[in-house]
Amino acid sequence: MNPLIAQLRQTVGAAHVLTHDDPGADLSAWEQDWRQRARGRALAVVRPGSTTEVAAVVRACAAAGVSLVPQGGNTGLVVGSVPDDTGTQVVLSLTRMNQVRAIDGANLTITLDAGCVLQAVQETAEKAGFLFPLSLAAEGSCTIGGNLATNAGGTQVLRYGNARELCLGLEVVTAQGEVWHGLSGLRKDNTGYDLRDLFVGSEGTLGVITAATMKLYPLPAAQLTAWAAVPSLDAAVTLLGLAHQHLGAGLTGFEVMGQFALSLVAKHFPQQRVPFLEHPAASAPGRPKPDAAPSGGSEPRAAGSVGATYCVLLENSDSESEDHARSQFERLLETAFENGVVSDAVVAENLGQAHALWHIRESIPLAQAQEGLNIKHDISIPVSKIPAFCAETDALLQHEVPGVRLVNFGHLGDGNLHYNVQAPESGDAKAFLQTMEERVNTLVFDAVARYDGSISAEHGVGSLKVDKLPGYKDPVALGLMRAVKQALDPHNTLNPGRVLST
HSE-up of residue 498 (Cα within 13 Å, Cβ side)? 31
Point out which residues pair with 230 in neighbouring strands: 310
- 395 torsion bin: left (phi>0), alpha (psi -120 to 50), beta (else): alpha
Q: Which residues touch 140 (CB under 8 Å, ≥6 apart)?
A: 117, 118, 119
Q: Are residues 318 and 255 in the same domain?
A: yes
Distance CA 291, CA 426 (A): 42
Q: Over the range 180-192, which residues count as b (16 or more CB within 10 Å of their CB) and which as e?
A: bebbebeeeeeee
Asked if residue 307 has pLDDT above 60, the reply is no
Q: Do 209 and 199 contact (CB within 8 A), yes or no? A: yes
Mean pLDDT, rounded, for 254-266? 95
User: Of 170, 196, 218, which marks where a domain is finished?
Assistant: 218
pLDDT at 405 over 70: yes
Task: Summarize pLDDT for 390-399 with one digit per residue, the tens.
Answer: 999 999 999 9
Alpha-carbon distance 184 to 213, whole Å?
7
- Amino acid in the structure at residue 52: T
Residue 369 or 103, more confident: 103
Mean pLDDT calculated for residue range 382-386: 97
Cα separations (Å) of 148 from 87, 151, 228, 426? 27, 5, 32, 40
Q: Give me the mean pLDDT over the 239-267 stretch.
A: 95
Domain count, the chain: 4
Shared domain check, 346 and 236: yes
Same domain, 228 and 308: yes
Give tens-digit pLDDT for 151-187. Answer: 999 999 999 999 999 999 999 999 999 999 999 999 9
Q: How far is CA 142 from the centre of its chain?
A: 10
Give the H or E element holding residue 88.
Answer: none
Rounded mean pLDDT, 108-115 = 98
In a domain, 494, yes or no: no
- The pLDDT tens digits for 418-477 are 999 999 988 898 899 999 999 999 999 999 999 999 999 999 999 999 999 999 999 999
- Looking at residue 286, its pLDDT comes to 35
Q: Does any domain span residue 199?
A: yes
pLDDT of 323: 87
Pairwise CA distance, residues 498 & 215, whole Å: 28
Please answer whether residues 260 and 310 qualify as being in contact, where contact means their C-beta atoms are separated by less than 8 angstroms.
Answer: no
The answer to whether residue 290 scores a pLDDT higher than 70 is no
Mapped onto helix, strand or coil, the DSSP state of residue 460 is coil
The CA distance from 255 to 313, in Å, is 5
- Identify the CATH number of the domain in which residue 441 sits: 3.30.70.2740
Q: Which structural domain range is residue 120 located in?
A: 100-218
Work out the angle at residue 354's Cα, subtended by the Cα atoms of residues 350 and 359, and round it to the nearest 5 degrees.
150
Cα separation, 165 vs 327, whole angstroms: 30
Instruction: Answer yes or no: are the C-beta atoms of 495 and 201 closer than 8 Å.
Output: no
Longest dimension (CA), the chain: 75
Does any domain span residue 19? yes
40 within a domain of the structure (yes/no): yes
pLDDT tier for residue 319 given thresholds of 50, 70 and 90? confident
> Are residues 292 and 258 part of one domain?
yes
Q: Are residues 276 and 356 in the same domain?
A: yes
CA gap 277, 274 in Å, rounded: 6
Estimate the crossing angle of helix 259-268 against helix 364-371, to 10 degrees.
Answer: 70
For the stretch 47-83, pLDDT in tens is 999 999 999 999 999 999 999 999 999 999 999 999 9
Phi, psi of 145 (to 5 degrees): -60, -45
CA-CA distance, 169 to 189, in Å (whole number)? Answer: 11
Q: In terms of DSSP bridges, do strands 217-218 and 130-131 run parallel, antiparallel, or are they unpaired?
A: antiparallel
Q: Which residues lie closer than 8 Å to 418 by C-beta, 6 or more apart?
A: 365, 376, 377, 378, 407, 408, 409, 410
Last residue of a domain, one of 46, 74, 93: 93
* Residue 376 is assigned to a structural domain of this protein: yes
> CATH number, domain at 239?
3.30.70.2190
Phi and psi angles of residue 82, each rounded to the nearest 5 degrees, phi first:
-120, 155
Q: Are strands 68-71 and 89-93 parallel, antiparallel or unpaired?
A: parallel
**202 & 227 share domain:** no
DSSP tag of 32? B
**Boundary-marking domain end, from 45, 65, 93:** 93
Is 487 inside any structural domain? no
Q: What is the CATH number of the domain that holds 202?
A: 3.30.465.10
Burial 93-104 (b: 16+ CB within 10 A, else e): bbbebbeeeebe
Helix H or strand E segment including 237: helix 233-247
What pLDDT was estimated at residue 325? 86
Considering the domain architecture, whether residues 71 and 116 belong to the same structural domain is answered as: no
Reply yes or no on whether the pLDDT at 283 is more than 50.
Answer: no
Is 60 exceeded by the pLDDT of residue 118?
A: yes
Burial call 287-309: b when 16+ CB within 10 Å, e when fewer: bbebbbbbeeebbbbbbbebebb
Q: Is the separation of the CB atoms in 250 and 353 below 8 Å? A: no
Helix axes 351-362, 364-371, angle to 10 degrees: 40
CA distance 464 to 376: 11
Residue 80 shares a structural domain with residue 25: yes
Give me the pLDDT at residue 306, please.
Answer: 38
Residue 353 burial (CB count, 10 A):
23
